[in-house]
Chain A
Amino acid sequence: MTPSENGAIIGDDGLARPPWASTDPLMREYYDHEWGMPVRDEQGLYERISLEGFQAGLSWATILRKREAFRTAFLDFHPDSVAAFSEADVERLMLDPGIVRNRLKIRAAITNAKATIALRSEGGLVDFVWSFQPDSTPEPLTFADLATQSPESVALSKALRKKGFAFVGPTTMYALMEAIGIIDTHFVDSHRRGSSGVWT
């Protein structure tokens, strides 16, 4: 592996990736196939909001390794199923070593399922979140160009909180906007730049 000029790492396959996606095979797979690709279905988006919420303070690799256990524990992140979870379910999940056992985050996932359902009457979670798409996307050349928040992520965070969502801070929402393709923060010379099709 060779570091390139902008701080990306050239892998043994000759492709440049950011350091976070350059070593762990799971992270590399995620970067190559999922990160930044548009998510426009309610269940998929609810899953990603939930996982980003669980990630707060931890590494994304931890979340990816636990992803299948998360899907099992949260019934494939089917909002209607999770919304029906009771306090007994919270206690059960607190004993599940496969997931992140944080009571506040587990409760937030349930709260967010209910909030997702409530949003259906005004057009749904997907259109709501995508309505914060800026009119242009960052064009990062180097690490110095990468942000952790944006005015749009601050606005999205505030708006989701108003709709009853939890664990949706502006940094988490920036990560979400990057992860689901609302903005393209791949380095301009990355092989994944533009792969979402949102900005072409």
Chain B
Amino acid sequence: MTLDHSDAEIAALLSSLDPEDPAVMSRLHDRLATAAAGEHTLDIAYRTVDSPLGPLLLAATERGMVRVAFAAEDHDAVLQRLAEKLSPRILRSAARLDPAARELDEYFAGKRRLFDLPLDLSLSRGFRLSVLQHLPHIAYGRTESYAEVALATGSPRAVRAVGTACATNPLPVIVPCHRVVKSDGSLGNYLGGIDAKRTLLELEAA
């Protein structure tokens, strides 16, 4: 990595570098992350946020949000798979995920009904991709059955493949698979657990 600006500043930072001091390490880390993003060497940025559903891992590429993961999915394992599938260049970067963190906060506080974030759906293919592309059309506070989603994606009877598509949604909460429920009105499954699905639907019903 080369830095074409403020070498003096870096040198000053390094001269005072005390690896025992977390604040210094954190500043250095932020500085490297910013520099890397500026030179497009940082392919995936991530951070975690607290939520009523527990800690959420957020990850984004330069194209947009690529992954939201529940704690139950094991955040380290999720990052490992992102490294294998998309890019080994992964760095914690709070700044790049600030907009997403802010919108999620507003959503969980009941103050936001629509996410306005660029999405990168490159983890999903074929049928699963067409299901994910439909889900944002289900409005806040509404639900659709797995059968209705199947119909909307042009394969009216492929209800069980819709189930898999929802269960493998790489962007839960933001791409609202929690709004897909069973035809008999029961909730159906949810990657983040059935309680998480109920929490989200109750939040949106309020």
**Which residues in A have some Cβ–Cβ distance to B below 8 Å?**
122-124, 127-136, 151-152, 154-156, 158-159
Residue of A with least CB distance to B159 = A151
A4 to B83, CA, bound (A): 49
Is B198 in contact with chain A by the CB < 8 A criterion? no
State A132–B158 Cα separation when bound (angstroms).
8
Give A11 to B167 CA distance when docked, in angstroms.
39
Q: Quick check: A135 and B127 within 8 Å, CB to CB?
A: no
Chain A hits for B122, CB < 8 A: 123
Bound-state Cα–Cα, A159 to B161, Å: 13
DSSP class of B's interface residues: helix, strand, loop or mixed?
helix
A155 touches B165 (CB 8 A): no
Judge whether B128 is part of the interface by a CB distance below 8 angstroms.
Answer: yes
- Interface size, chain B (Cβ < 8 Å): 20
A130 and B128 alpha carbons, distance in the complex (Å): 9
Extra contacts besides A132-B126, A151-B161, A155-B161 (15): CB < 8 Å: A127-B125, A131-B127, A131-B161, A131-B165, A132-B161, A134-B158, A134-B163, A135-B161, A135-B167, A136-B160, A151-B155, A151-B158, A154-B155, A155-B127, A159-B155
CA distance in complex: A5, B157 (Å): 32
Distance, CA A123 to CA B160, complexed state (A): 22
Whether a CB of chain A sits under 8 angstroms from the CB of B124 is: yes
Q: Given the complex of chains A and B, what is the CA–CA distance between A154 and B164 in angstroms?
A: 16
**B35 interface contact, C-beta 8 A:** no
Name B126's closest neighbour in chain A (CB-CB): A131
Q: In the complex, are the beta carbons of A135 and B164 less than 8 A apart? A: yes
Nearest residue (CB) in A for B131 is: A131
Q: Which residue of B lies closest to A122 (CB)?
A: B125
Least CB separation from A127: chain B residue: B125
Bound Cα distance A158, B150 (Å): 14
- Decide: A155 and B125 in contact? CB cutoff 8 A: no
B150: nearest chain-A partner, CB-CB: A151
Which of B127, B128, B189 counts the most chain A CB atoms within 10 A? B127
Asked if B164 and A127 sit within 8 Å, CB to CB, the answer is no
Give the distance in Å from the alpha carbon of A130 to the alpha carbon of B163 in the complex.
Answer: 14
Which of B154, B158, B167 is in CB contact (< 8 Å) with A152?
B158
Counting chain A CB atoms within 10 Å of each CB, which of B124, B157, B158, B165 scores highest? B158
Q: How far is the CA of A131 from the CA of B164 in the complex (A)?
A: 8
- Distance in angstroms from A117 CB to nearest chain B CB is 16
- Chain A nearest CB from B145 CB (Å) reads 14
Closest CB in chain B relative to A184 CB, distance in Å: 14
CB distance from A147 to the nearest CB of B (A): 13
Known contacts A133-B164, A134-B163; is-contact A128 B125 (Cβ 8 Å):
yes
Task: Tell me which residues across on chain A come within 8 A of B165, comparing CB atoms.
Answer: 131
User: Which one, A122, A124, A132, A136, contacts B127 given CB within 8 A?
Assistant: A132
